[in-house]
């Protein structure tokens, strides 16, 4: 999988564009800047945007090529981010508990064993009152992929999300927002057209 992502990110263009995800941007506007973690941040469009808004950014991805492009983007925007090359399995050996004001999972599609084995501990990394925010393709997105391959998304429905899954992954967080929506995406080369997403914001009590 790592080699596949390095190959995908090896092109000159930014696969998902240089602008932040719209849901991420809108959600961040309602939070006070602090320290944020972005797992699977890819080419850095969201992490770099957060830095321009005054956030202290920690990001990681398994792709060295993604990190290189993210740091180039940060330099062009005149900000700094701390971006590491990590697998999700290394997260709890890398970041201390109660360290972040927010964790953003934007199209962070992982195999079910990663989601069930590692996501439920993410709230441990949050400070009290911190937030987890997520936008990811829903399990109903498969229908949209069949009609329009250009919308993107993982090839395996088990890597997608549902409202029920979000409740299972983060049972102790206060749900601020949880919904499944049909939206129109225009994100670089990778996400174009109508798709179905799950949107979630949870708050650590």
Query: pTM of the full predicted structure?
Result: 0.95
Query: Rounded to an integer, what distance in angstroms lies between the CA atom of residue 109 and that of residue 74?
Result: 24
| pLDDT (0 to 100) of residue 16 | 87
| Tokens read off for 189 | 């080369």
Element holding 24 (H helix, E strand): helix 22-28
pLDDT tens digits, 114-140: 999 999 999 999 999 999 999 999 999
Q: pLDDT tens across 10-54, in order?
A: 777 888 889 999 999 999 999 999 999 999 999 999 999 999 999
Does domain 2-203 bear CATH number 3.30.565.10? Answer: no
Domain residues of the chain, as ranges?
A: 2-203
What's the confidence (pLDDT) of residue 175?
99
pLDDT band at 3 (very low <50, low <70, confident <90, very high): low
Q: Decide: helix, strand or coil at residue 201.
A: strand
Arithmetic mean of pLDDT, 98-123: 97
Rounded Cα gap, residues 79 and 195, in angstroms? 32
Give the confidence band of 168 by pLDDT, cuts at 50, 70, 90. very high
Q: In whole angstroms, give the CA distance from residue 141 to residue 87.
A: 26
Average pLDDT in the chain:
95
pLDDT at 144 over 80: yes
Q: Using an 8 Å Cβ cutoff, are 164 and 122 in contact?
A: no
pLDDT value at 1 more than 70: no
User: Residue 178: which region, alpha, beta or left (left: phi > 0; alpha: psi -120 to 50)?
Assistant: beta
Q: Over 60: is that where the pLDDT of 184 sits?
A: yes
Q: Are strands 174-187 and 191-203 parallel, antiparallel or unpaired?
A: antiparallel
């Amino acid at each position: 999988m790592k080699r596949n992502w390095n190959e995908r990110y090896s092109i000159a263009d930014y696969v998902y564009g240089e602008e932040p995800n719209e849901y991420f941007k809108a959600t961040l506007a309602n939070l006070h800047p602090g320290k944020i973690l972005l797992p699977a941040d890819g080419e850095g469009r969201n992490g770099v945007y957060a830095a321009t808004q005054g956030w202290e950014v920690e990001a990681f991805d398994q792709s060295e090529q993604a990190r290189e492009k993210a740091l180039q983007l940060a330099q062009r925007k005149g900000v700094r981010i701390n971006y590491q090359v990590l697998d999700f399995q290394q997260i709890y050996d890398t970041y201390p508990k109660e360290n972040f004001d927010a964790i953003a999972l934007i199209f962070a599609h992982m195999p079910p064993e990663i989601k069930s084995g590692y996501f439920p501990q993410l709230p441990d990394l949050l400070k009290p009152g911190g937030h987890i925010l997520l936008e990811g393709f829903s399990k109903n997105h498969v229908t949209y992929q069949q009609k329009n391959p250009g919308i993107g998304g993982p090839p395996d429905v088990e890597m997608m999300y549902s409202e029920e899954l979000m409740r299972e992954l983060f049972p102790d967080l206060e749900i601020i927002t949880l919904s499944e929506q049909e939206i129109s995406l225009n994100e670089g080369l990778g996400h174009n057209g109508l798709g179905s997403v799950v949107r979630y914001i949870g708050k650590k009590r």
